[in-house]
Amino acid sequence: MNLEPSVRWVSLGRMGYDEALAIQTEQAERLLRGEDDAQTVFAVEHPPTITVGRSGTFDHILMGRERLRSLGIEVREVDRGGDVTYHGPGQWVLYPVLHLAPWGNDIGRYVRMLEEVVIRALAEDGVRAGREKEYPGVWVGADKVCAIGVRARRRPSGEFVTYHGLALNVNTNLAHFQLIVPCGIADRGVTSVERLLGRTQDFAAWEWRLKRSFEAVFLAGETGSGAPEDAAEAR
């Protein structure tokens, strides 16, 4: 399968969570209705936002909404899989809006492929990242560097259409993760590329590194093993 130009990469820059959500869900609806067949990845950086997924609980947000708002942090309840996570400046968020027939219509495989995208991108700088069998995302030791939570809905044909996606901490303010129980996991940490490599990263360069890695993984279809079920919500 030829990924380019069959998958288009759309750089949204820094954009509010609600606006980016509207863009990706509108594209997903077009695919679900059969009005479009384009495979699209949206890349975006959000202002500070805490999101609660379908299997999450507001109990995992450790500060009240009004106090968070006074700090410039919004809270949103969303329809992706997973629990509570944080988005903010210095974090690349990828929203692949794809129909999955080219990749076996397999959600578990798709989640492993998203993990592989980040694992390969980190390996370019010598960072040995991997998976945790019980938890979705990408880990370096006991610390999560990339959260993954997706939603998949079916076309009338039975083919899945995906949206939401992954969030890689590049130069992210890790102190903001102390406001939540990240992904509902209390006994693990959160890290960033900046912390792992000991220096501030060229943020724009990391978008294009993720793009190259995405193309390589989704062309080759090499997924690794182990996809935690709560990474995705499907119907």
Q: Is the pLDDT of residue 1 over 60?
A: no
CB 51 within 8 Å of CB 81: no
For the entire predicted model, the pTM comes to: 0.91
H or E stretch at 114: helix 107-123
Which one of 170, 183, 185, 210 is the catalytic residue? 183
- Known catalytic membership, residue 146: no
- Backbone region of residue 63 per phi and psi (left: phi > 0; alpha: psi in -120 to 50; beta: other values): beta
- Give pLDDT tens digits for 88-136: 999 999 999 999 999 999 999 999 999 999 999 999 999 999 999 888 8
| Domains along the chain with CATH numbers | 7-222 (3.30.930.10)
